[in-house]
Each structure stands twice: as structure tokens, then as C-alpha cells.
Structure 1
């Protein structure tokens, strides 16, 4: 009998045996699960020695009964398998077929071994190419495939690149020809392109007949090479297909067998391939982007205009960073358009020389309006995407060129496929936008020198006018007159905001216009340009009021011209609105608006300072009043002990305490050491009593006040509590006297009865005793002492005032002889 090679069914074990319990055939799953050994001489399979006896008896017993049913087999590892056994009639003696599912433990063992090899491979010091080549071989052996192809996705170049392959083809020339045919596959070509959309494994049962296969691989050639079916596994990381693993098999039914393991391995490979392709590639790309930014200063140094800078920057981005298409725009505020200054890449020749795009259109327009980077991963699904000519773009990245909230232009980057950009591209383009913004600002520096000098002079003069005289009430009128005079505007007015009433009060005006609204009149805080400023807290400009723009409500009777309303605010506090009018439309250009806004900001700061000064004055007056009328002495000292505040009560307290009404510092106070001790213990609130040389008792309270300006301060409160202390001592003495009298009465009451008994017994004894006897003498002595005690008890009961006398040890006791007793 010939050896039957194990079949590819790895999920079911199969045995074929005869009535003598000889194993005629076993597939690989049966051999591996039971631990069978092939006897090449006998051309039979044998059980392992440890299980041979019991399994042979099981098979022989089953064969004798010639029936169908369950059969228990034991593996060399001690596992038990429940097999389904069927008798197969033949021309001679019957044969028996046993089938059982291979345990998950066996499958887990095989997959675990593969995973361990993959872990060791990616942890090794081998190069990236070597790792991919070895991975292809491991997968080829594990899946017993005809070939394994490993593709890397190169989004920037729009293709899949074959990074490694392995096959069972023996002809080296054939292998090389196949590699050449599939070395590069476009992202939109062949079966592999489906994975970019589905990001799910692809199973093709009839690969030679698949219409989407790569044209160079014709069906006849695939059949000749034994490649009948395909499993295509995408390796997906953060929503992007990093790589694709193609497994090619010789039979369509292999797809079901490998489906579970193939899907698992596709997920298992993600972190390893991501580490190689994403993290390392990202680091390399970051270095290249950094080198690009470092080259810009040298290029810009030899440019004579910002247009030249834009053109050279765009071209370098395409040449050095392999960008597909890049455009750099300049913002024209007068027309609210973005003008294309430079374009490089695939579509450089498609744009007309003076191409402009409204900021209301497209992704670049949205970035310009919001002053925020906009990334559209798939432009085919984005309604905002705008292209004046037919484009095959897949992703778009737009970054505003802005400085301090002012739009200067924008950068637009496109790629031919979706999800082409990542965080590095966004950050790099944002940095480039900031650099171009700084360059634009610098390039206009000389042009604006005169303007800035004029602005500085204007603000200097304004600061002098605003701070020359104090008083919050005078500031608006002075400011309005200054603006009208210095800037030559037609008419300027100031409205104070009353949030509690929802109105604006006109408090100052200057200029040649006759206003129908006099000083003191009110305007609704939700109406017209002034109302819009209240709501939005930013300036509102109507360049031509003759066209009656939306939301405009005329304050006066002017029918043409321009009107500018600027908020006077400090932080979140709105003081009012400066309204500037001109008889000429478009009279206020950006430079003039900037000067006016700077002047209004100075005015707001002056209003805030004046308001704070007024509050400080009011608070100081209140504090002076409180200190003046306080009965306690107050001393306020610096950290060094110098006195900064001393109220009248404090002067009187010092006069009484140290004999003069002033002190040079803390050290002049007799209790300064106790204060220093408390401060050294970091006590912020403390108090103690102090008795001076005259016997006066003072309560001293100290508090460390929070730092103000140069440092914290110490406040001391002095209160003379001598009278309160004497009253308290008198109360204590009276209470003690009352308690002593009550206690004496109670003691007397308790002693009376035993004393009466003692005296009575003494009298009875003396009647019976010989008056001359020693016992009678002792009894008379007891009687005398008892009578003395009785006399004291009567004093206890009738005492009205207790006096004391000195007692050894420095204490005092009650002097009952000298205490007063009521008659």
C-alpha cells in the first residue's frame, strides 16, 4: 500500500482502518492530533507507544461489531477525541472510516507558533525589506499557498508597490517575470483597488476568470501556474490601508479553510507594519519637511517680491516634498477675493494668469473665512469642493495665511486620492502659512513705516490728552474733540452704554454735522450699527450708507457717506461706542480704521483707569471714616515694621501704653517679641493679652494682610481691656464667696447631728464616771473639742462674709475666726 499524503483539511481528522485495526490512511489533522507515526516499511500509520495498546483495542472492538457509531480515541498528549465511525462495505472485508473535529487547542498551537515567529521576526535587527521577505515565507508555509504577495500602499505616488513575495514555483525565471508584471499596481487598478474602499478582506474563488485582475496576468497563465483562488488581506491603520497581503491557492475550496486565520492575521500584523511604515516613514517625512523649512530663508533672501517668494516656495514644495499640486493665494480685502499668485504641480498650466476665487467659494474660501485649517479627506463627498476645471483630486488641504487674526492669503494642497494627508502635513503646512505670513508682514514693513510713525505720534498725543486731566466725566468729550481734530473726520460722537436699561446715551460729539440727537438723548441698544456693536462687541463698518445695507438704521439725516462704529471696551466690560461718520463713501480705509481702533483702545483703558481711580478714592474715603470712628487702635505696618496707618484711637492707645502717640516701628512696642514669635510660626491671625507696667491689660490682635504691591502688611489692633478684666475678677471672687458660703452651710448641716450625739454621749458618760478618774478627764476633753466644733458649725451656718489668712506654702485659707457672722 502506498503512503497517502495528508490532505489540506486541517479542521477534521480522518482515519481509514481495517478489521485488524491497521491504519491504512490518515490525513494531517489526524496524524498531528493523535500523534501518529508513519511506518515506511509496513506502509502503515501507527499510534504512539503510549496510546497504541488502548487505541488498538478500541479500533479492533469496533471492527468486530461492524456497526456505525461513536468511537473514543486517545492522543499522545492525553486528549480524548470523540470520532464518528462508519463502516464502508467493500468487495472483500469491510473498511471503517473515523472522522472527528480537531481540537481548538491544536489549531491554537499552530497559530501560536506562527505568531511567535512573527514577533521574533519584527523584534530582530533585520532590515525592513528582509522582514517583509521572511514574513511572506512564513505565511506561505503556514497557509500552504501557491504564492504570497506583499504590497505596500504609496498614497503620494498613487500606487501599490510589491515589497516582498514567496512562492512554491521552482522556475526562478518564471518567478522573476511575474514579479516584473506586478511590481507596481495603480491605486485604481485591478482587484486590489477594491480594498481602498471596503478596507475588508477580499475572497476570489475564480481568479483566472476575474475581470478586474491585472491585465498582464492572463487567465491561462494563472491556471498553468496553479493559482486558482485569491485571498487579499488589507492591513488597515487609522482608517488607511497601509499594506495588502495576497494569498494565492490552487483550489477554490481553500478559501473557506483559511478564512478565519487569514482575517485574524490581517489584524495581528497591523501594529508591526504600522511601526515600520507609519512611524518610521512619518519620522523621515518630518525630517524632510524640516529640511524644507530650513531651505526657505536662503530662497527668500534672493527674492525681490512676495510674488517671487510664493512661486519659489510652491515649486520647492513640489520638487522636494513630492506634493501633487499646490497653490498659494494672496487675499485682496477690497474685493474679498483670493488671488492665485503661485501654483506648482500637475495642474500648474490649467489656471489663468489672473485667477481669483471668492472667499465664499471652495475649501480655501472656508479656511480664509474661519482662519482655520480645513482638511477634506475625500473631495468627491464634500459639497464645498470647488474646481474651475475638471480635476481628479481625491483630498484637499487648505491653510490660511494669517497674522494676529488678519487674513493675508492661503495655501491650497491637493492629492489624487482620498486620505492622502495626515497630522504631519497639516502641521507642516500650518508652519509654512505662518512663515509666509511673517514674511508678508516683514515685506510690507518699509511701506508701513510712515503709517506706524504717524500712528505712534497719534497715540502719544492721545495719551497726553487723556491723562492730562483726571475725571471720568471729562474723558469722552476730550477724546471726541481730539479724534475729530487730529484725523479730520466729518463727525464723531460717543454713546455711553447702560446695560441695565438696554440703551445708549449720547454724552459727547464734535464735528460739522448738525445732529438731530442732542447730548443726553438715548438710542436703543439693539438697533442699527450701534446695536450691532453691542451684540457682537467688534467694530461695524458701512462703507456706503446710500445703498442702505442690511441692518443699517441711520442715526441722523445723512443720505450718503460712510459710517464706522467702534466698541469702547476693556476686557468684557463695554463702556460705550464711538461713532465716526464721513460725507464720502469708502472714506475709512484699513489703515485709518486701525488707527481709530488703537485710539479707541487707549480711550477704553483710560476710562477703565479713571473708573478704578474713582472706586479707589471712594473706598479710601470709606476706610478713613471707619478708622476715624473706631474705638480700637489700628496700626498698619510693612514687612519691615514701618507704620503706614495709625488711627486716632491707636494714637491714644500708644500714649497710654508707651507714653507717646507715635512709634517708629514694631520694635518700639513693648510686646514686639511676642508678635515676632507668632510671625515666625507663620500664623496669619493671632491674639494675646499683655499687661503693661501700670497694670493695664491690653488685648492685641494681629493679622497678616495679602500682598499688595511691594509685599504683605501686618495689621495690629489694640484694645484696653483693664476695666473688663477687673469686672471679670470681681465676678469670679463673688462667685467663689457664694459657693464657699453655700458649702459651709451644707457642711454645717451634715455635722450638726453627729456633734449632738457626741455631746450627749459625753454628758451621759460623765454622770456615770468618777469625776477624778482619768477616763472622765478624757471625756471632758472630747466634750470641749466637740463643743468647739459645734461653735464653728454655727458660724458656718450663719457666715455672711468670708475672710482669708495666709497659709504655709504661699496659699491662703478661710479665716473662720475673723469671718463675719449674722447675729
Structure 2
């Protein structure tokens, strides 16, 4: 074979090599095109949803076309952006310990992604942060590799999407890009859904306030009024526990005069508390409401034995501008109450003023 033929042969081999690379790239792109089509279909379905549960269900059924994962989490920030709650989208049985639980925004890879607004791709053992409760649980489940991307609506971060697998080095930059696109679609729908739910919640609560007021108007005796108010408020608004305290004549104590809910066995009727103690004591003295969505962080909170309170909302009951008692609700969940609940409770605390005390 002549030198010219050798050069031609080498060039032919080089050409074939380039062709194979191009063909491989085309095949790879074909897979990407299919993913883009699947992504479009999923987003279209998400846009048509009406509730948060629908959004999660569409995501769960559709995301499998885009990603190979064993565990998927959607974590959402609270309004104060101090904590995030974890929603387990897959493998709930093994992750019940973290499902619907709240974690400080400083904790874990999810918190890091939310604060930095950055993407993390890596092995479960390479996470360079403290506070790894979620990560440790994932590791115990056999997880080896994961993607965590921020969930945004425009410039606002509302949470994070986590995809995790038992395989090593399973995700790449393309997966991260698709995860971000899907997270944006989910985040936008959740935000729009939240606005709709907030509006519906306000309308519903106005209707419920009217119903509570109507029932209380038919109660003639003071004891009947107070007990009826506690029961009606607790059941109508589905609050975990409702108590009504009245300031004693000497002004030194608060007496429990009505109670409805899950702590009723622990605080008997007639229980008295020093007015200088607890959140209800502070409200009675100051005449101002308290909305505390994490009582462990409030030094004013007075812990009762056997109580598992995490959130508390208390408003003063006034007559002619003078505080005569406190309407108090509690829940075992962190961040159980919002400003709408506060307005509702303040409204309800004014309902008995037409009754003689």
C-alpha cells in the first residue's frame, strides 16, 4: 500500500470515527428530545391541577419518565422562611419519620440549597455540611447519589426538589437541568395554588365565624356561653386544643373556665395559673396577641406535663378596652397557625362582649 493510500485509509478511519461520535450524539439528543416532550406533557398536566395533592400525584406519575430515582422529596419553606417541611413523594413507608416534618432552614443539604439557591449533585457521603438527619436516613435506605435543586417562582425560592438513587454516579448536569425545569413548574403551580387556597380559606373562615357567632348568640348562661364557645371554635375550625381563661378578681391568676380538644384530660376545669407565667399570662398582662409557631423558641411558654404543644396562638378577650381573659389555641405541629388564624381568633374573642360577665 502506498503512502498516499495509507493516508487515505487513515482519513477514512478518522471520518468513520467522527461519524460514530456524531451518531452517538444524535442518539443521545434523541433521548433528550423525548425527555423534553415528556417534560412538556408533565408541566401541562401540572398546570391543570387544582390542589397541592393533585400536583404531587401528577409529579409522582410523570417524573419517572424523566429520572431514575428511588426516593423523591419536595420540601417547602414556611412563610417566615425559617423552616422547611418535607413531603415524601416516593417510598413513604421507609421515610415516615421525615414525612410532613419541619426542619430548620440551616439544616441539611436541602437547607443549604435553599439558602444558596444552588444545585447540588453528588454522593450521599460528600455532603459538606452539619445537621444531616435527613441525609442519614437516606443513607440508611441505601441511597448513594442525589440531586437537590432549588424550587423557585421567579426570583423567590419556596423550597427544594430532591432526587436520590441507590446507584453510584447516576446523575449528571443534564439531569440537573431537567430537575430545575420541573422544579420551577411545580413551584409555580404550588404558589398559584397557595394563593387560591388562601383566598378560599379566608372566605370559608368568614362563613364559619358567622356560624359560630350565630350559635353563641343562642346561649344565655355564661357557663354555657364559654363552654359552648370553646367546643364550637375547636370543632368548627378543627383546632387541636382550645382553652378560655378568665382573670381572677384579684388580678393575680388566670382561671381555666372552658376547654375543648385533645388536652382536656390534663388541665381540669378550674385550673389556675399565675398571671406572670406562660404565653396566656403575657397576653393577659399586655393585652396583645401572640402567634408562636415554635414554642420551644419562646421563653414565655409554660410547658405542661404530658403536653406536646409545638404551636400556640393566644388573643386577649376584652370588654370596654379592659382585658378580662384569654382565648388560646394550641397544636402539636410546628407552624400550625398563620395570620389568617390570628385574625379569626381576634374576631372570635370579641363575640362574647354582648353577654354580661
TM-score (norm 2): 0.69
Q: Taking structure 1 as reference, are residues 346 and 214 closer, same or farther at Cα in structure 2, changes over 3 Å only?
A: farther
Task: Return the alpha-carbon distance in structure 1 between the equivalents of residues 191 and 307 of structure 2.
Answer: 31
1:21 aligns with 2:19: no
Query: Matched residues in 1 for 2:228 and 2:345: separation?
Result: 15
How has the CA–CA distance of structure 1 residues 251 and 327 changed in structure 2, closer, same or farther, with 3 Å as cutoff?
A: same
Call closer, same or farther: CA 1:250–1:361 in 2, change over 3 Å: closer
Equivalent pairs counted in the alignment come to 316
Partner of 1:286: 202
Counterpart selection for 1:205 from 103, 123, 137 = 123
Q: Does 1:375 align with 2:287?
A: no
Question: Could you tell me how far 1:26 is from its partner in structure 2?
Answer: 3.9
After superposition, what is the alpha-carbon deviation per residue over 1:258-282, rounded to whole angstroms, capped at 9, x for unaligned?
A: 4566467545633321222x22333
Query: Given the alignment, which residue of 443, 448, 452 partners 2:356?
Result: 443
Query: Any unmatched runs of 5+ in structure 1?
Result: 1-16, 38-106, 166-177, 220-226, 445-823
Matches for 1:367-766 after TM superposition, within 5 Å: 367-436=283-352, 438-439=353-354, 442-444=355-357
Contact 2:55–2:190 (CA under 8 A) maintained in structure 1: no
Counterpart selection for 2:69 from 127, 133, 146: 146
Q: For 2:59, which of 135, 145, 165 is the aligned residue?
A: 135
What is the deviation of 1:361? Answer: 1.9
SS at match of 1:410: strand
Contact 1:148–1:245 (Cα < 8 Å) also in 2: no
The equivalent of 1:30 in structure 2 is 25
Q: Report the secondary structure of 1:443's partner residue.
A: coil
Unaligned ranges ≥5, structure 2: 1-10, 79-84, 114-119, 126-133
The CA RMSD measured in Å over matched residues stands at 4.4
Residue 326 in structure 1 maps to residue 242 in structure 2: yes
2:190 aligned with 1:273: yes
* 1:457 counterpart residue number: none
State how far apart, in whole Å, the 1-side matches of 2:227 and 2:297 are. 31
Partner of 1:274: helix, strand, or coil?
helix
Inter-partner Cα distance in structure 1 for 2:243 and 2:213: 20
Contact 1:288/1:321, CA 8 A, preserved across alignment: no
On the 8 A contact 2:73/2:163 being kept in 1, the answer is no
Confirm or deny: 8 A CA contact 2:122 2:169 kept in the other structure.
Answer: no
Whole-Å separation in 2 of the counterparts to 1:146 and 1:426:
41
Say which one has the larger Rg. 1
CA distance in 1, matches of 2:292, 2:124: 38
Contact 2:71 2:164 (C-alpha < 8 Å) held by counterparts = yes
Residues 420/26 of structure 1: CA separation in 2 closer, same or farther (3 Å cut) = farther
* Aligned residues of 2:244 and 2:325 also touching (Cα < 8 A): yes
The 5 A counterparts of 1:180-191 are 181=93, 189-190=97-98
Q: Quick check: 2:313–2:330 contact (8 Å CA) kept in 1?
A: yes
Does the 8 A contact of 2:71 with 2:165 survive in 1? no
Pair 1:18–1:434, CA change in 2 (3 A): farther
Give the conservation status (yes or no) of the 8 Å contact 1:191–1:212: no
Q: Secondary structure at the match of 1:353?
A: coil
Kept in 2, the 8 Å contact 1:206–1:229? The answer is yes
Counterpart mapping for 1:107-146 below 5 A: 120-124=44-48, 126-128=49-51, 131-142=55-66, 144-146=67-69
User: What TM-score comes out, normalization by structure 1 length?
Assistant: 0.33
Counterpart CA distance in 2 for 1:404 and 1:248 is: 59
